[in-house]
Structure 1
Amino acid sequence: MASFEVRGGKKLRGEIIPQGAKNEALQIISAVLLTPEKVTISNIPDIVDVNLLIELLIELGVKTERPTRHTCIFQADNVDVDFLGSEAFRKKSGRLRGSVMIAGPMLSRFKKAYIPKPGGDKIGRRRLDTHIIGFEKLGARFEYNEEHNYFQLVAPNLQGTYMLLDEPSVTGTANIVMAAVMAKGTTTIYNAACEPYLQQLCKMLNRMGAKISGVGSNLLTIEGVDYLGGTEHRMLPDMIEIGSFIGLAAMTQSEITIKNAGIEHLGIIPEKFQQLGIQMEFRGDDIYIPAQESYEISTYLDGGILTVSDHPWPGFTPDLLSIVLVVATQAVGSVLIHQKMFESRLFFTDKLIDMGAQIILCDPHRATVIGLARKNQLRGITMSSPDIRAGQALLIAALSAEGKSTIQNIEQIDRGYQYIDERLRKLGADIKRV
C-alpha cells in the first residue's frame, strides 16, 4: 500500500493543465459498445477507475489501440457477450462502480446485461434503482442473483416510452439514454440529469446517428434508430480537478494558473469559490488565481452564515464539497456545509480536527466550519484517504499544514487524479510517493 509524504507550508507557483473528466470518461467509454465501428476518444484521464473500465472492455472482446496514454481507439465488432456471466467479470466489475455503465449499451445492442453489486467509494448508499426501473420501463426484465450479488437483465424488444425519473441521477440518465437510442419508437425522459458530461454523451451519440433532442435540459426525447456508427470524441477538462486546484491555490497562498479550463462548462463552481473570498481572473480559457494572504467568506445580505450545499446541475456538484470544507478551515468567517446526497462523505472531518481545524460535525450530512483566519496553521499528521474526493481534500490540507503529513491508502486518490504527485511537484510542492 503506497502513501504520500507531504511537507507542507510551501507556497506554490506555476501552471497546471486539468486532466480529462473522470465522470465523463466512464460514460463515453461504455458507449463504444453501441457500435461495431471504430470510436476514437481523446483526453482520456490516465487514472485507475478509467483504466479498469478499459481493461474490462478488452476482456469483453473490444479491440483497443492506445497510441498515447490519453487516446484510445475502440472497436466493439466481436464482443463476447457470455463473458458478462463469468466469475472474472463479476470480480473485476465489482471493483469499479462505473462498470454499471456498460449495462445500457449491452441491453441496447445485445439484448442482455449484468449489473454487479457496486464497488468504488465508501461514501454511503449508492442505489441502482433509477437504472433498473428505467430499463424495466423500456421493457427489460431482471432477476437478482443472491449467491453472486448481481442483476441479470434481458430485453428481447426494447420499446420507447415516457418516464419520470425519481431522481436526476447522472449515471442513471446516461444508462437509460444508451439503452433507449436503439429502442423501437420514442422515449421521453423527464427529470433527466443535464450535467455537461451527460450533454457530451448525448452529442457524441448524435454524431453516431442517434436522434436525441432536449440536450442540456431536464427533458430528453430520444427517437430510436436501427444502427449507430463510429465517431471521434474529446473529453472535457475535469471540473472537479479544476475546483480542487482553485482550493489548493487559496489554502497554500499560491499563484497558480489553470490552463484550458473549459470555463463555459464550469457552471456555478467559480462563483462558489468566490463566495469563500477566493480571487480569480478568467484569461481566455485559463483561470488565474493570485497569491492571497487571506480570504473572507461571504455572508447573506441579512448577515446570515453562508451555506454551501450540493444540488443537481446547474447547482453545485457534491464532489467539490470536501474541497470547499477544507478551504474554509483557513478562511476568515464561518460556513455551513450541507452534503445532501451521501451520508458518509463528511466523516473525514475527524482528520481535519486532528490537524487543528475547528469543525462541528452536526450530523452525517452537515458540518459547520469556523475559519482559523490563518491565526493557527494546520499541523501535519498521519491519516488515511477514505474516498477519492476526501483524499484530495486531505492532500490539500497537508500541503498547507506545518510539518510532515503522511496520507495512507492513496490508491483512492489515484482512482480519480492522474499523476497528482508529479504535477504538484512541478508547482513546487514537497510531496513524495513511498
Structure 2
Amino acid sequence: MSSFIINGGRKLHGEIVPQGAKNEALQILCAVLLTPEPVTIHNIPDIRDVNKLIELLGEMGVSVTPAGKGTYIFQAGDIDLDYLKTKEFRKKGAGLRGSVMILGPLLARFGKGYIPHPGGDKIGRRRLDTHFTGLQKLGARFESDGLNTFYSVDATELKGCYMLLDEASVTGTANVVMAAVMAKGTTTIFNAACEPYLVQLCRMLNRMGAKISGVGSNLLSIEGVEYLSGTSHTMLPDMIEIGSFIGLAAMTGSEITIKNVQYKELGIIPEVFRRLGIQLQLRGDDILVPAQETYEVETFMDGSIMTISDAPWPGFTPDLISIALVVATQAKGSVLIHQKMFESRLFFVDKLIDMGAQIILCDPHRATVIGLNHQVPLRGITMSSPDIRAGVALLIAALSAKGKSQIDNIEQIDRGYQDIDGRLRSLGAGIERIEG
C-alpha cells in the first residue's frame, strides 16, 4: 500500500492543466465495441480505472494502438465472446465499476453479453436497476448465476420502445443509449441523464452514424441503425479536477491558473465555489484563482445558512461535494453540506475533525461546517483515503495544514487523478510518494 507524505502550509503558484474527464472516458471507451472500424480517442487520462478498462478491452480482443500522449486507436474487429465467460474476466470486470457499460454495446452488436457485478468506490449503495431495467425494456433477458454476482444476457432482437428511467443515472443512461442505437425502431428515453459526459457520448455516436436527437436534454429519441462506423473523439477536461484545483487554491491561499477548462461545460460548478466566497477570473478559456487571505460564505436572502447540495445535472455534481466540504472548513461563515445521492460519502469527515476542523456530522447525508476563516490552521495527521473524491479532499486539507501529514491507500486517489503528486510539486507543493 503506497502513501503520500505531505509537508503542508505552503503557498502554491503556477499553471495546471486538467486531465481528460474520467467519467466520460469510461463511457467512450466502451462505445468502441459498437463498430469493427477504428476509433481514435484523444485526451485519455492516464489513471488506474481507465487503464484497467483499456486492458480489459484488449483482453476481449480489441486492438489497442498508442498514437501519442493521451491518444489511442481502438479497433473492435474481432471480439472474443468466449473470454467473457472466463474466471479472469469475472475478476477483472468485478474490480471496475465502469465495466458494466460494456453490456449495452455487446447487446447492440452481438445480441448477447456477460457482466460480473462491478466494483468501485465504497460510498454507499450504487444499484444497477436502471441499467438492467432499461435493457430489459429493449428486449434483453438476464440470467443470474444464483448469487447475483455474474449475469448472462440474451438480446437476440432489441426493439425500440418508450421508457421512463427510474433515476437519471449517467452510466445507466449511457448503457441504454449504446444498446438502443442499433435496436429496431425508435427508442424514447425520458428522465435521461444530461451530464456533459452523456452529451459527449451522444455526439460521438452521432458521428459514427447513430440518429440521436434531444442531446443535452432529459428526453432522448433514438432511431436505430444497422451499422456504426469509426470516428475520432476528444475528451473534455475533467470538471472534477477543475473543481478540486479551485478548492486547492482557496484552501492554501494560493494563486493558481487552471488551463483550458472549456468553461461553458462546467455548468453550476463555478457558481457554487463563488457562493463559498472564492474569487474566480475567466481569462480566455482559463480560470485564474487569485490568492485570498479569506473567503466569506454567502447567506441566503433571508439570512439563513448557506446549503450546498448535490443533484443530477444541471445541479451540483456529487463528485465535488467532498471538495466543497473541505473548502468550507477554512471559510468565514457556516455551511450545511447535504450529500443526497450516496449515504456513506461524508464519513471521511472524522479525519478532518482530527485535523482540527469544526464539523458536526448530522447524519449520513448532512454535515454542518463551521469555518475557521484561516485563523486556526488544520494540523497534519496520518490518515487513509476511503475513496477517490474523499481522498483528494483529504489531500487538499493536508496541503493546507500545519506540519506533516501521511495519507495511506493512495491507490484510491490514483484511480481518478493522473500523476497528481507530480503536478502538485510543479506548483510548489511539498508532497512525496512512498511506494508500499
TM-score (norm 1): 0.99
The Cα shift of 1:69 comes to: 4.1
* Separation in structure 2 between the aligned mates of residue 82 and residue 98 of structure 1, nearest angstrom: 20
Amino acid across the alignment from 2:209: G
**Would you say the 8 A contact 1:160–1:186 is kept in 2?**
yes
* Separation in structure 2 between the aligned mates of residue 152 and residue 198 of structure 1, nearest angstrom: 26
Q: Which residue of 1 aligns with 2:418?
A: 418
What do the CA deviations read for 1:101-152 (whole angstroms, capped 9, x no partner)? 1000001001111221121100001000000000000000001113571121
Amino acid across the alignment from 1:250: A
Q: Which residue of 2 aligns with 1:309?
A: 309
Q: Which residue of 1 aligns with 2:126?
A: 126
Amino acid across the alignment from 2:403: G
* Separation in structure 2 between the aligned mates of residue 99 and residue 31 of structure 1, nearest angstrom: 12
The reply on whether 1:384 has 2:384 as its aligned counterpart is: yes
The unaligned stretches of length 5 or more in structure 2 are none
The Cα shift of 1:165 comes to: 0.4
Q: Which residue of 2 aligns with 1:237?
A: 237
The alignment's C-alpha RMSD in Å is 0.7
* Separation in structure 1 between the aligned mates of residue 108 and residue 160 of structure 2, nearest angstrom: 12
What do the CA deviations read for 1:388-417 (whole angstroms, capped 9, x no partner)? 000000000000000000000000000000
Percent identity among equivalent residues?
A: 74
Q: Which residue of 2 aligns with 1:47?
A: 47
* 1:163 counterpart SS class: strand
The reply on whether 1:82 has 2:82 as its aligned counterpart is: yes
What do the CA deviations read for 1:341-366 (whole angstroms, capped 9, x no partner)? 10100000000000000000000000
* 1:68 counterpart SS class: coil
* Separation in structure 2 between the aligned mates of residue 74 and residue 202 of structure 1, nearest angstrom: 18
* Separation in structure 1 between the aligned mates of residue 340 and residue 54 of structure 2, nearest angstrom: 32
* 2:20 counterpart SS class: coil
Q: Which residue of 2 aligns with 1:29?
A: 29
Q: Which residue of 2 aligns with 1:68?
A: 68
Worse-matched range after superposition: 145-154 or 172-181: 145-154
Matches within 5 A, 1:370-409: 370-409=370-409
Matches within 5 A, 1:180-191: 180-191=180-191
Query: Runs of 4 or more off by more than 3 Å in structure 1?
Result: none
The Cα shift of 1:67 comes to: 2.4
The reply on whether 1:161 has 2:183 as its aligned counterpart is: no
Q: Which residue of 2 aligns with 1:104?
A: 104
* Separation in structure 2 between the aligned mates of residue 326 and residue 70 of structure 1, nearest angstrom: 31
Matches within 5 A, 1:222-301: 222-301=222-301
The reply on whether 1:344 has 2:344 as its aligned counterpart is: yes
Amino acid across the alignment from 1:430: G
Q: Which residue of 2 aligns with 1:16?
A: 16
**Would you say the 8 A contact 1:60–1:84 is kept in 2?**
yes
* 1:322 counterpart SS class: helix
**Would you say the 8 A contact 1:46–1:69 is kept in 2?**
no
Amino acid across the alignment from 1:204: M
Amino acid across the alignment from 2:217: S
* 1:139 counterpart SS class: coil
* Separation in structure 2 between the aligned mates of residue 199 and residue 117 of structure 1, nearest angstrom: 26
* 1:390 counterpart SS class: helix
Amino acid across the alignment from 2:400: S
* Separation in structure 1 between the aligned mates of residue 301 and residue 174 of structure 2, nearest angstrom: 39
TM-score (norm 2): 0.99
Aligned residue pair count:
434
* Separation in structure 1 between the aligned mates of residue 395 and residue 112 of structure 2, nearest angstrom: 42
